[in-house]
Structures are given as C-alpha cells and as structure tokens.
A and B are shown apart, each in its own frame.
Chain A
Amino acid sequence: MLLLQVIVGGLLLGAIYALFSSGLTLIWGMMNFINFAHGEFVMLGMYVSLLVVMYLGGGPAAFGFGAAFALFVLGVVVYLSLIRYVLRGPMLAQILSTFGLALLLRYTAFWIFSANFVSLPQTSLSGTINVGGILMPIPQLVAGVIAILLTIGLHLMLTRTTIGSQLLAVSEDRGAAMLMGIKPDRMQALAWGLSAGAAGIAGALMAIAYPWSPSVGETFGLTAFVVVALGGFGSVPGALFAGLIVGLIQALSAFWFGPIYKDIVVYALFVALLWLRPQGLMGKA
C-alpha cells in the first residue's frame, strides 16, 4: 500500500513537471531554442503566488491566475527585449542570453526572498482524502489534476484553434507564414508568453502543495530538460507522458534508495537517453 501511495504521489508531482515542461518544449519546437531560465520562471510563479496571497488575499484561483498572468507578461517582455535579438545571432549568444537571465533571476530572488524555504499559508485546500486505502493530500491531488488538464488544454489549443495553427505555421516556415498574413514576431512573442505562463501556473500549483526556496529553479530547469529530452523536442503530448514518467522515477528512487538520489537518477537517465535515443520517446528521428 505504501508503494502504491508513493506511485500516486510521484505521478501527481509528475503532472506538474509535464505542465512546465510543455512550455519549454513549445519554445524548442517553434524556434529551435532552449530556455535555460525556464526553471526560474517556475520559481517566480511560486513567489508571485506567495505575494498575491500575502498582499491581495484570495484563494488558489486568484494566485493561480496572478502567477499565470505575471509570467505571461514576463515571457513576452523577455522575448521582445532579448530573445528576438539573439535568435539569429551566434550559438554563444543564444545560450548565454537565457543562461545569464537564469542567474539574474535566481540570485535576485535569493537577494529579495533569502535562501530560506517558504510555503503558502494554509489555503482552502487542505486535509487528506482516502481513496481505496491510499491516503492522498488534497492539495497535491488538486494541483496534479489541474496540471494534467492544463497540459491537455495547451495541446488542444495548439492543434485545434486558429492561434495554434498560426503558431505552428510560424514554426514550420517563417517566410511562408509571413506571406499568409501572419506576423511571426507577434506569434513568437505569444509563444514565449504561453511558455512562461505555463511555467508560472505550474509554479502556483506546486506552491499549493510543496514548500520551496529560490534554488528550486535550477532543479526544475534541469528536470524540464530531462522531460523534454525524454518526450521528444517540440512534443506537448510527449512532455505529458515524460513528465509523469520522470515524476514516477523520482518518487520510486527516493523511496528505494533515499531522497538524495532522486535527482541523480533522473540526470543519469538523461545521459543514458542521449546515448540511446536522443530524439526522445515520441520525437521524430
């Protein structure tokens, strides 16, 4: 029974991994660009939630929207002021731009919020629920389920709506999309907004259930790399499955080998993937 509980816990955390990783994979798929600051976006989403709860009040819906909106804006601003200029620059500039941004955001957060772990004050979501003998904390359950729904929602948006088609058009052929009357710059800014927004809301969901400090951004960023590498670059459904798998692997390795090994096992999985199947489970070769 304990093992089953560990598995469910891992899957629920994995659902949140899936949500923020789908943001990373969206940017990669569209512009062949890796955002090293993606984990920091998740971390900022968590602190925005805390600030909203502290100063504006309101329940999970309020800070969820707050985090999503704040990070959406940040994503658009980062694209317009930085990414746009380095996209066609040398590889060094592309990698340095978001890598530097990650350091800037991480250490500014350390400076403002200190390195102490914090958690949200008790929200309306609390207590545990007993499903067939498995004890599940309600916050984790709600966060996990919402994360899965949002990831599916993002996938549907990309595949079923006009905006989604326009985004895909720009990623397929920038020039042709422009001839069809689509403004590529605007679409790419939107993609950055969506990507950061997904990270922000994932941060808010994470904040409901788990305590955090500014250093989580680095861990989440690397976790997102592993999820995206496992699921296939550019694939949102791939990110969903890979996120759940990574969450599960982490929970099981923490259960069997001890908590300190959960990240080691995941990063080792990443190195193994590079050797064996670099295109990911669902990616195209």
Chain B
Amino acid sequence: MNKIPALSPTVLLAVALLIYPLIFSGAFYLDVGVTFLLAAISASAWNIVGGYAGQVSVGHAMFFGLGAYAPLLCYKLYGWTPMAGIPFGIAASVALAILIGIPTFRLTGHYFSMATIAVAELIRIYFGTWDLVGAAIGMQGPATARGWWDLTFRSELPYYYIFLTVLAVLLSFTYLMERHRFGYYLRAIKAGERAARSLGVPVQQTKIRALVLSAVFTSVAGSLYSVKTGFIDPESGFGILVSVQMVIIAALGGAGRLYGPLIGALILIPLQTATNTWFGGGGTGLTFILYGGIIVLIARYEPGGIYDLWEQISPRLWRRKHAS
C-alpha cells in the first residue's frame, strides 16, 4: 500500500464523491454536483495536452462541441439512441486533432494556441449556418425516454454516477500515463523541447498523441453534456467560454497535476453557481469578468495553481504542528 503515496487522499476523495448525492439529495445540490463532475472531466481531459505536455489549447471547445453534436445528430437523423453517436464524436475529434496537430506542433507553442482558437471559432460560426445541425437554433434530444438506453432520466442521480464513473476512468488513465514512458516524454517536452529532442524523445509524435488522447476524452465530455441536457447549440458546444472554463479550472487547480482540475472545479463551480444565484441572469457577465480576473492573477502570481501553492505552504504548516 505504501507504494502508492496518493492512495489515502484518493480513497477519501472517492468516498466523498460517492456519498455526496446521499447527503445532499436536493435537486439543486445534485445539479451542482453533476456540473462539477462534468467540469472536472473536461478540465482533466484538457490537462493531458495543456497541462502535462504544456501545449496550451484555448479552443478545446471544438472537441467538446463535436462530441456534443454527434449524439443528437444521430437521434435527429436516424432516431438512434443518442449514445450511439458517441463513437462518431470521438472519431471526428481525433481526425480534427491530427489535422491541427501536424502543422502547428512543428512550430512554437504560440502557433498551436492561435490555431486552436481560430479553428474553434471557424467551426462555431460554420455550425451556426449549417441547416443539418439546426444552424443557430441547435438540436434537441428525445423529450421522453423510450427506454433506459436513451439515457434520458428525470432525476439527476443516474447522471451523477455515470459522470463519476467516466471521471474515475479518466483519472485512472491519467495516473497510469504519469507513470508510463509516455508521461515522462510529455514532461520532458514541457520542460524543454530541444533538450527532449536531443535525448531521443519523438517530440512531434508525442505531442500529437497527447492532443488525440485529450480530444477523445473532451469529446466524451461533450457527449455526456448533450445527452444529459438533451439540447445543443453552437454557443453551448463551441463557444469560447466552453474552452475558457477548461483552461481556467485546470490552471487554477494546477495544470499538469493529476488532481489539479478536480481542485479547480471544486473552487470554481460553487463560485460560479453562487454568482449566478446572487446576481440572477445578469450574473453571467459578471462571472466572465471574474474568470478573466482569476486567469490574470494566476498567470501573474502562481502559474502552478493552487496545487503548487499548497506544496509551498504545507511543509511549513507541518513543521509548526510538530513543534507545538
């Protein structure tokens, strides 16, 4: 057991997340819980390429949106269960990731950031004019479930546990990746690309793989979102704020850390819920001003996020405890 030092916090976290819906069973709290899990999934997916590989994507909404559109499109066109669209979303996201990764990863990191934001905008505007996917109005899923396979539940509880399962899979995957050769490649690239290349790390290939993996999980997050809400439009799928939320949550908690996105979501989602509740509909604008402010402060003072800050502070706290 001692071989896995992160185990005991992990167990605590898992237990807390498992019993949360039993303690806070009200619809409002469940909704916050589901929102939290979805945000943690998307941000953890972003973390693979943005955090571990250090390639900062500011347009990850393109994968989220493709993942979100695919299930509802399958339902709209063929009447299939929305679930059937998930693989199509993943396939489209992988193709897009390769298409963007190949040219931009030959250049410095700034090109990648610029390309991601431009492509996300391009797709958002295009989907807004494309009649097949409902143009600016968007698409809807099944109004009432034809069976459990439609994943259309009245209660939020099933979604909570489905999302929690996906998050657990994603985090276990990331945990294994950290300890695998691939994870070391990523960290080497982040620390210094030229040095990594000179030591024989296949830089280009590794970065593309990281982007593809990240795109797969982001696409799944998008599918979960649209299956749960039963609705998608260009703004909620490809909007810049979808990308922003992933970046800010990962960076706030700690980019390139296993639990960074989880910590970020734990802080940001309640904060966002609170501002939306206090300020009503007009609060959305304020939320984004707040987002901008938080991002600037992280960049200026603590690019490592709360995780790094904690690592700096905690040894001092421990010493004090032992002394007293």
Interface of A toward B, CB cutoff 8 Å? 32-34, 36, 82, 85-86, 89-97, 99-108, 110-111, 218, 222, 225-226, 229, 260-261, 263-264, 267-268, 270-271, 274-275, 278
B117 interface neighbour in A100, A110, A222, A229, Cβ under 8 Å: A222
- Chain B 195-206 against A: per-residue CB contact (8 Å), 1 yes, 0 no? 000000000000
A96 to B: closest C-beta gap in Å: 4
Chain B residues, Cβ within 8 Å of A85: 300
C-alpha gap A101/B295 in the complex (Å): 8
Q: Are A107 and B56 in contact (CB under 8 A)?
A: no
B291–A103 CB distance below 8 A = yes
Residues of A within 8 A of B119 (CB): 267, 271
Overall SS of chain A's interface: helix
Other-chain residue from A102, A225, A263 in contact with B292 (beta carbon distance below 8 A): A102
Closest B residue by C-beta to A218 = B240
B289 A104 Cβ-Cβ under 8 A:
yes
Q: Which residues of B contact A101 (CB under 8 A)?
A: 292, 296
**Shortest Cβ distance from A165 into chain B, in angstroms?**
26
Chain B residues near A99 (CB-CB < 8 A): 58, 244, 247, 295
CB distance from B101 to the nearest CB of A (A): 11
- Distance (whole angstroms) from the CB of A157 to the closest CB of chain B: 25
Q: Which residues on B sit within 8 Å (CB–CB) of A32?
A: 108, 110
Q: In the complex, what residues of B have CB within 8 A of residue A110's CB? A: 285
Q: Mark B78-118, 1 if CB is under 8 A from A, else 0.
A: 00000000000000000000001011101111110111011
A268 to B118, CA, bound (A): 8
Contact of A268 among B103, B122, B255 (CB under 8 A): B122
B286 on the interface (CB 8 Å rule)? Answer: yes
Given A222-B121, A225-B114, A103 and B285 contact (CB-CB distance below 8 Å): no
A275/B296 in contact, CB under 8 A: no
Binary CB contact string for chain B from 163 to 198 against chain A (1 if under 8 A, 0 otherwise):
000000000000000000000000000000000000
Closest B residue to A28 by CB, please name it.
Answer: B110
The 5 closest A-B pairs by CB, nearest first: A100-B295, A104-B292, A103-B292, A97-B299, A93-B303
Tell me, yes or no, whether B29 is within 8 Å of chain A by CB.
Answer: no
With A103-B288, A108-B289, A111-B286 already in contact, the answer to whether A271 and B115 are too (CB < 8 A) is: yes
**Is A275 in contact with B299, judged by CB distance below 8 angstroms?**
no
Cα-based distance from A125 to B128 in the complex (angstroms):
36
| Contact across chains for A264 and B126 when beta carbons are under 8 A apart | yes
Query: Which single residue of chain A is at the shortest CB-CB distance from B241?
Result: A103
Give the CA-CA distance A86 to B56 in the complex, in Å: 15
Within 8 A of A (CB), among B266-288: 285-286, 288
Q: Chain B residues with Cβ under 8 A from A94's Cβ?
A: 299
Asked whether, in the complex, the Cβ of A90 is within 8 Å of the Cβ of B54, the reply is yes
* Known interface pairs A91-B54, A96-B247; 9 further A-B residue pairs with C-beta atoms within 8 A, sorted by A's residue number: A82-B300, A86-B300, A92-B54, A100-B294, A100-B296, A103-B291, A108-B292, A222-B118, A270-B118
Bound-complex Cα distance A14 to B119 (A): 22
A34 touches B113 (CB 8 A): yes
- Which of A93, A95, A226, A274 touches B58 (beta carbons < 8 Å)? A95
B129 at the interface (CB under 8 A from A): yes
The answer for the CA separation of A225 and B247 in the assembled complex, in Å, is 20
Whether the pair B103, A275 counts as a contact (CB closer than 8 A) is: yes
B157 sits at the interface (CB 8 A): no
CB-based contact A86/B288 at 8 Å:
no
Give min CB distance, B104 to chain A, whole Å: 6
Q: Are A100 and B292 in contact (CB under 8 A)?
A: yes
Interface 1/0 per residue, B280-316 and A, CB below 8 Å = 0000011011011111111110010000000000000
**Residue with the greatest number of chain A CB neighbours at <10 A, chosen from B54, B128, B247, B285:** B285
The reply to whether the CB of B34 lies closer than 8 angstroms to some CB of chain A is: no
* Contact residues in A for B103 (Cβ distance below 8 Å): 274-275, 278
Please state if B292 and A229 are interface contacts (CB–CB under 8 Å). no
Shortest Cβ distance from A110 into B: residue:
B285
Structural contact, B289 and A278, CB atoms closer than 8 A: no
CB-based nearest B residue for A101: B296
Contacts A/B (CB < 8 Å), 30 sampled:
A34-B113, A36-B117, A86-B299, A86-B300, A92-B303, A93-B303, A96-B56, A96-B251, A99-B58, A99-B247, A99-B295, A100-B293, A103-B244, A103-B292, A103-B295, A107-B285, A108-B292, A111-B289, A222-B118, A225-B114, A225-B117, A264-B122, A264-B125, A267-B118, A270-B114, A271-B100, A271-B122, A274-B107, A275-B103, A278-B107
